[in-house]
Amino acid sequence: MLYILIALILGFCTPLQTAANSRMRLLVGSAPVSTLISFAVSTIVLIIVALVASISLVPSPQAFHDAPWWSWFIGIIPLITITIAIHLFKEIGQLQAMVIPMFSQLLFSLCIDHFGWFGARVMPMSLQRSIGAVLLIVGVTMVVIIPRLGSNAKTENGGLRQVLWQLAAVLTGFLSSIVGAILASLGQVIGSAIQATTVLFAIATGVMIVFCTINGSLVKSKKAFTAHAPWWTWTGGLLGAIIVLGNAWLIPLTGVSVFMMSLLIGQLMLSLFMERQGWLGAPKKHISLTQIAGILIMLAGIFLIKF
């Protein structure tokens, strides 16, 4: 119960992180540069935490030997998902861009638990977990799909192009599921969730520095230091570090599906409240009884999957 509550609270961080990173993107005028700044802040935060906790920043030779070689490159996965997400809303519309990755993440996280992929603890599918998954699907439908059916703008793209972008949306859900599983497994192998998370962000930051240097956008990072912006613009990296560190710590305790879906519920709950209050520039919207009922149904689904 406590771990689910913590995962829900981590989910609250996601809309705040999105708002902060979106403001940083407007400030610097470049999505890659804002991503670089966010990852750099995350890396600095985690380095400070590691030093305070007297944890080595560099994994031991034994850790490099014990962990699969590909696990050290998971920092690249968030870069892929961010790049795809930037284009999804334009290519397939807001509704599909939100819902397809959610359903994909649910499906693949259950598969990871069932088969024990990427070193995850095996949690076989059962009738109770299946019912919980159905409740989660119903809840997402009530919270996300139904309120947007009347206002969702249809995309002008069609045919093969749209299908390919829909498959890309499925891919983002899959990648979001596996990055948590791989990071949690890496943290267990090397014996430190903090060290594993620091490695992830350090590699991702290095890749983004190279990318922004090659495309000539690195110079735009100066705007983040010279322009006037709210203090919370810089919190995207801090929140990102907290969320990803939560992945590495909690997934071995809860399983991939419970953690990912708890994170999603927390994200939806705070997003609805932010829209209700108009926080951080979010347009004010009414929260319907259907959406509230959907959240409750999703919470019931989580408890069935976990217990």
Give the percent of the chain with pLDDT over 90: 46
Q: Which residue has the higher pLDDT, 161 or 237?
A: 237
Cα separation, 8 vs 4, in Å, equals 6
HSE, CB side, 13 Å, CA atoms: give it for residue 83: 11
Q: How confident is the model at residue 125 (pLDDT cuts 50, 70, 90)?
A: very high
User: What is the pLDDT averaged over residues 33-49?
Assistant: 94
Q: How confident is the model at residue 218 (pLDDT cuts 50, 70, 90)?
A: very high
Contact 201, 46 (CB under 8 A): yes
Break the chain into its structural domains and give their ranges.
2-306
Q: Per-residue pLDDT for 54 more than 90?
A: yes
Q: How confident is the model at residue 89 (pLDDT cuts 50, 70, 90)?
A: confident
Q: How confident is the model at residue 129 (pLDDT cuts 50, 70, 90)?
A: very high
Q: Which residue has the higher pLDDT, 286 or 8?
A: 8
Cα separation, 141 vs 147, in Å, equals 9
Q: How confident is the model at residue 151 (pLDDT cuts 50, 70, 90)?
A: low
Contacts of 274 (CB under 8 A, 6+ apart): 15, 19, 280, 282
Output DSSP code: residue 283: P
Provide the Cα torsion 15, 243, 71, 133; round to 10°: -70
The confidence score (pLDDT) of residue 109 equals 94
Q: Convert the pLDDT of each residue in 225-284 to its tens digit.
A: 887 778 888 999 999 999 999 988 999 989 999 999 999 999 899 888 887 877 766 667
Q: How confident is the model at residue 158 (pLDDT cuts 50, 70, 90)?
A: low
Contact 285, 275 (CB under 8 A): yes
Tokens 């397939």, located at residue: 92
One-letter identity of residue 113: D
Q: Among the listed ranges 99-103, 157-161, 162-166, 248-252, which one has the minimum average pLDDT value?
A: 157-161
Predicted TM-score of the model (pTM): 0.83
The confidence score (pLDDT) of residue 209 equals 94
27 CA to centre of own chain: 22
The confidence score (pLDDT) of residue 285 equals 79
Nearest to 262, CA basis, from 118, 121, 132, 71 = 132
Nearest to 21, CA basis, from 3, 46, 41, 50 = 41
